[in-house]
Amino acid sequence: MLSNCVDRYIPEAITSNAKYLVVDGFINSNGITTINLSRTYDISASTTPPKEIKATLYIEEENGVRNALRETSQGTYTSNNLVLNPAKRYRLHINTATGKEYVSDFSTAKTTPPIDKVTWQAVNTGLNIYVNSHDDTNATQYYRWEYDETWEITPPYTPSIEYKNSRIQDITVPYSRICWVSAKSADIKISNTTRLSQDIVSNFLIHSLTTTASQLNTTYSILVKQYAQTADEYMYWELLRKNTENIGTLFDPLPAQLTGNVHCLDDETELALGFVGVHSVAEKRIFIRRSELPRNWFVQTGYESCLPPDTVFLFKPVPPPPVAQILLGNFGGPNYLPIEPVYDNGFVVGYLAKSRDCIDCRTRGTSVKPSFWP
């Protein structure tokens, strides 16, 4: 018999108390720049990353002017609408509330070419969305994309009654019949054309949805954002992608130290994470409607658990409790709501009821219609 011994390994990085500055964003050469500042934190923590507040930020032109950013919310800093000179170099300057000074490397402003088209194709596994672009000057070569999704949802029930003031009455504020949900991309989408004779991106797969995806229930929209990258910025995102998405199997690359182009002027040993590039943004939005998709797809509405509705009866086996007690027991909390009365020979004998999630689509999205929605 052979005995095995397993020693627990705790890397120093996991137990470190260091709180390094994290810089998330880029300098928009033709628009509004948004920079998010936060700090690294314990990998086992269940809280959100701590925000870096009350910092002073400005975009600095080499041997030129400075454009300040203001803190619009905790840890989020935005500039005015700027148009930067593509012949100049720019960097981000940060002064924290504790007196630390950070700068990014100077970089020439790149102009992102427009997106030619965003297309989609129904395949056996679901829906594939592609992006197409090119640069006749061969000046881009390195591309990165993000996307924002928005889709429409409709609840299966429309309540006509409500429990209010200890009794059932006609509803006073109707529930929303249509709501919208939005989500941002979380994966890293990059590509390059350095091995091609022309700077053309053709049918790059940017997003996939399964045939049962609830986003495709009614109307779905995707806004694709394209960024031109320098070779250094592209390599930063490629390394970040490998560190976060390609780890988990025996043959995946080992994690590598990832920093970026942000440095602390007060202390060279003080790490800062993030890469602040300088470029413009190109955008294109498309809409996909359920009527355009294959009819044999089973699209989930997100309300499958709501069917069929429950029935809350007023009259139960003798001795019945008081009606008010039954109503309070079923509808006194926030999760169980009446939909409509149940009649027998003209008398109300119960109520169809369901949880709020099955009725109020505001718990899943917002009832405010997006300005771009048709």
The answer on pLDDT for 19 being more than 70 is yes
Q: Is the peptide bond before 253 cis (omega within 30 degrees of 0)?
A: no
pLDDT at 363: 78
**Mean pLDDT to the nearest integer, 232-244:** 92
Mind listing the pLDDT tens digit for each residue in 285-316? 999 999 999 988 887 777 777 767 777 766 54
The answer on pLDDT for 180 being more than 70 is yes
Alpha-carbon span 137 to 272, nearest angstrom = 34
HSE (CB half, 13 Å, CA atoms) of 5? 1
pLDDT at 42: 77
Rg over alpha carbons for the chain, rounded to the nearest Å, is 27
pLDDT at 321: 65
Closest CA to 111 of 219, 197, 31, 51: 31
Query: What integer best gives the mean pLDDT of the chain?
Result: 88
Alpha-carbon span 71 to 162, nearest angstrom = 43
Mind listing the pLDDT tens digit for each residue in 109-119? 999 999 999 99
For residues 51-81, one letter each, b for 16 or more C-beta atoms within 10 angstroms of the residue's C-beta and e for the rest, the string is: bbeebebbbbbeeeeebebebeeebbbbbee
Alpha-carbon span 21 to 274, nearest angstrom = 9
Alpha-carbon span 220 to 208, nearest angstrom = 13
224's CB contacts (< 8 A; 6+ apart) are 115, 118, 131, 145, 146, 147, 206, 283, 284, 285
